[in-house]
Amino acid sequence: MVVLAVLLAPALRSYVAQQQQIAALQQHVADQRATVADLEQQRAAWNDPAYVKAQARSRLKFVMPGERAYNVIDAPPPKQTKPASPVPAVGGDAKRDRPWFGDLWRSVEIAGTGRQAAGSRADS
């Protein structure tokens, strides 16, 4: 009995694995057939002139001769106030009339000297 069980165990394990694989593949085929049926239904809908006309109106914004098309544009979103920055700027006293490279050079000088910029703290 033990010898028979040892000889049949790998074959039985392989059989069960193959049956599970077959079931998974059959489910996959069924899913694909459902997808194909849905796509065929969509293709058949394109043979209907009313459906084509409706799609042209909604997707391409086409109108029939003599009709007028109106595009309604929503109002721009309200301007939001800028939240306060949680991190202070390196050059807290930077002027807007200075060029950007002046601020960049000032930050390099501050980094080179090891001193802190105005508005920043050592314990942050």
Mean pLDDT, range 74-100, rounded to an integer: 67
Encode 1-30: b = buried (16+ Cβ within 10 Å), e = exposed.
Answer: eeeeeeeeeeeeeeeeeeeeeeeeeeeeee
pLDDT in tens, 43-79: 999 999 999 999 999 898 899 899 988 888 888 888 8
Supply the pLDDT for residue 49.
Answer: 93
Supply the pLDDT for residue 15.
Answer: 95
Measured between its terminal Cα atoms, the distance across the chain in Å is 76
Question: Is residue 88's pLDDT more than 60?
Answer: no
What integer best gives the mean pLDDT of the chain?
82
Supply the pLDDT for residue 37.
Answer: 97
Amino acid at 1: M
- Contacts of 4 by beta carbon, 8 Å cutoff, 6+ apart: none
User: For the chain, what are the domain ranges?
Assistant: 24-64
User: Which alpha helices (DSSP H) does 46-75 contain, by range?
Assistant: 49-60
CA 16 to centroid of chain Cα atoms: 40
Q: What is the pTM of this model?
A: 0.44
Question: Is residue 113's pLDDT more than 90?
Answer: no
Give the whole-angstrom CA distance, residue 74 versus residue 110: 48
Supply the pLDDT for residue 123.
Answer: 47
Give the whole-angstrom CA distance, residue 51 versus residue 28: 31
Cα–Cα distances in Å, from 123 out to 14, 85, 116? 66, 18, 11
Structure tokens at 107: 């930050």
Mean pLDDT, range 30-54, rounded to an integer: 95
Supply the pLDDT for residue 86.
Answer: 58
